[in-house]
């Protein structure tokens, strides 16, 4: 080995060693924005300060998307977080908040409830959840038959004719967004109301929200108000460390939210 | 070469061809890698149209305004202007042909979605006026006294 080769290999080796650091990446909406491959990339913005936990979004979603109303499954839901002064975190989402939160007791499941005194509350807030339409969706990767896929505009859809109901995708989703549709017996998920956004309408949940806590937009449109907030404002995403590049951005996200 | 050596080869070739023929008829035409590549985009292109054609059920208050202009313009002058008609009246798909009347959710639970007292300091909930449902006329429909289209106290029914 001559000196030139030695220097070449050393440089390559060091570059290779530093490579894994680039995989530890923080939220970079600019990357999605800059990739102007096609005209549209749907993204979602949630302002948790505005959410009041009324659950009208969940009701509208279930009726719009024909998700069985009484079954305990839903495409979108609202979580309540109550942090008490002793440092405990309480969270619940009874029926996915389909009927809102009309008790101050925290639903612990199995018919147990936790009473929290008003004066013990340090902070409390609501977090709406829905499919993140990840840039690198793990649910799509694991599908063995090509029944779930990402469309060119970033929305992940499920082919009801082709899904075999194996449930891999339900296990793969880090956000617990997917569920088994009780009627069609296939995987089901939020698709940003694909039928509505393609007709120029807002999603059912965005339209139903009285407080403007939910917004949908096209991040590749520089004039889109949602795109502007995501690129220029302070926003966060849930479970960034999974590297899926989720495309539901949150204003006022707290550390306790998972 | 002896035929008993070649025979398994013929069987394998036959099975391969038969498999390819069966595969050709079983897999729909739209299948391919498409825009997002093999890992994320392998699917039947025709299925995108299925989701685009899904029926729209929530028509928005602008649709209601076409016929119920009186109700729409009156609620727009109140704090309830931010609430979509269909949040209480249900999705308007097919209305007014079928169904001719939309069911109205007048339940106390519907009002309590926002007006139940939750003293959460860092949520928008705190700004909304609330009542304790156990003390404030329990068992009575809110709309028997309050007008949801004019929720201010001057709009109270006598």
Query: Which tens digits make up the pLDDT trace of B70-90?
Result: 999 999 999 999 999 999 999
- Partner-chain contact B124 A213, CB within 8 Å: yes
- Partner-chain contact A149 B125, CB within 8 Å: no
Rounded to a whole number of angstroms, the distance from the CA of B35 to the nearest CA of chain A is 6
Q: How many CB atoms lie within 10 A of CB A151?
A: 26
Q: Which of A124, A148, A201 sits opposite B123 (nearest CB)?
A: A124
Residue A20: pLDDT band with limits 50, 70, 90? low
pLDDT digits (tens, 9 = 90+) for A92-125: 999 999 999 999 999 999 999 999 999 999 999 9
pLDDT value at A36 more than 70: no
Rounded to a whole number of angstroms, the distance from the CA of B140 to the nearest CA of chain A is 16
- Partner-chain contact A160 B50, CB within 8 Å: yes
pLDDT digits (tens, 9 = 90+) for A39-81: 899 999 999 999 999 999 999 999 999 999 999 999 999 999 9
Q: Which of A239, A240, A222 is nearest to A231 (CA)?
A: A222
Rounded to a whole number of angstroms, the distance from the CA of B100 to the nearest CA of chain A is 18
Token reading at A101: 């939160």
| Averaged pLDDT, B38-67 | 95
Residue A90: pLDDT band with limits 50, 70, 90? very high
Decide if A146 contacts B31 (C-beta within 8 A).
yes
Q: Which of A191, A187, A165, A186 is nearest to A178 (CA)?
A: A187
Cα–Cα distances (Å) from A38 to A43, A194, A220, B35, in that order, read 14, 17, 9, 9
- Partner-chain contact B124 A211, CB within 8 Å: yes
- Partner-chain contact A100 B44, CB within 8 Å: no
- Partner-chain contact B44 A49, CB within 8 Å: no
- Partner-chain contact B109 A48, CB within 8 Å: no
pLDDT at A29: 75
**C-alpha–C-alpha distance, residues A6 and A258, integer Å:** 48
B 108-127 near A (Cβ less than 8 A)? 109, 112-114, 116-125
Q: Which of A94, A116, A146 to mutate to test the interface with B (most CBs of B within 10 A)?
A: A146
pLDDT at A37: 57
Cα–Cα distances (Å) from A242 to A133, A238, B35, B76, in that order, read 14, 9, 24, 45
Cα–Cα distances (Å) from A234 to A23, A179, A245, B15, B154, in that order, read 22, 31, 16, 59, 42
Q: Tell me, which fold does domain A138-188 have in CATH?
A: Alpha-Beta Plaits (3.30.70)
pLDDT at A199: 95
As a whole-number percent, the residues of chain B with pLDDT over 90 amount to 72
Task: Write the ipTM.
Answer: 0.88
Q: Which of A38, A52, A146 sits opposite B125 (nearest CB)?
A: A52
Read off φ and ψ for residue B62, nearest 5 degrees. Answer: -65, -35
- Partner-chain contact A54 B39, CB within 8 Å: no
Where is average pLDDT lowest: A2-6, A201-205, B3-7?
A: B3-7
| Averaged pLDDT, B21-44 | 91
């Amino acid at each position: 080995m001559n000196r030139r080769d030695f220097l070449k290999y050393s440089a390559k080796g060091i570059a290779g060693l530093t490579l894994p650091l680039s995989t530890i990446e923080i939220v970079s909406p600019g990357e999605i924005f800059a990739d102007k491959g096609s005209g549209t990339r749907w993204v979602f913005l949630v302002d948790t300060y505005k959410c009041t936990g009324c659950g009208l979004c969940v009701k509208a979603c279930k009726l719009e998307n024909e998700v069985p109303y009484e079954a305990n499954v839903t495409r979108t839901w609202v979580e309540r977080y109550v942090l008490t002064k002793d440092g405990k975190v309480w969270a619940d989402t009874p029926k996915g908040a389909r009927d809102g939160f009309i008790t101050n007791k925290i639903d612990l499941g199995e018919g147990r409830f936790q009473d929290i005194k008003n004066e013990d509350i340090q902070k409390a807030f609501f977090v709406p959840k829905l499919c993140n339409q990840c840039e690198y969706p793990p649910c799509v990767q694991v599908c063995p038959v090509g029944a779930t896929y990402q469309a060119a505009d970033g929305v992940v859809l499920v082919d009801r004719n082709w899904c075999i109901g194996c449930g891999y995708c339900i296990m793969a989703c880090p956000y617990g967004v997917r569920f088994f549709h009780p009627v069609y017996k296939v995987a089901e998920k939020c698709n940003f109301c694909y039928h509505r956004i393609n007709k120029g309408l807002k999603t059912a949940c965005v339209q139903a929200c009285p407080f403007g806590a939910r917004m949908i937009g096209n991040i590749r449109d520089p004039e889109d108000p949602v795109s502007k907030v995501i690129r220029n404002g302070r926003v966060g995403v849930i479970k960034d460390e999974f590297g899926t590049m989720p495309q539901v951005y949150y204003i006022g996200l707290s550390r306790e939210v998972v | 070469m002896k035929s008993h050596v070649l025979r398994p080869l013929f069987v394998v070739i036959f099975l391969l061809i038969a498999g390819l023929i069966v595969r050709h008829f079983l897999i729909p035409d739209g299948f391919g890698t498409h825009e997002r590549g093999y890992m994320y985009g392998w699917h039947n292109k025709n299925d995108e149209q299925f989701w685009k054609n899904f029926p729209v059920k929530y028509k928005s208050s602008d649709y209601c305004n076409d016929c119920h202009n009186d109700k729409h313009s009156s609620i727009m002058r109140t704090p309830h202007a931010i609430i979509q008609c269909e949040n209480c009246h249900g999705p308007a798909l097919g209305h007014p042909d079928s169904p001719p009347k939309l069911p109205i959710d007048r339940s106390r639970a519907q009002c309590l979605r926002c007006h139940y007292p939750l003293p959460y300091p860092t949520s928008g909930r705190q700004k909304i006026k609330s009542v304790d449902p156990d003390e404030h006329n329990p068992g009575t429909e809110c709309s028997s006294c309050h007008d949801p289209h004019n929720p201010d106290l001057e709009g109270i029914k006598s």
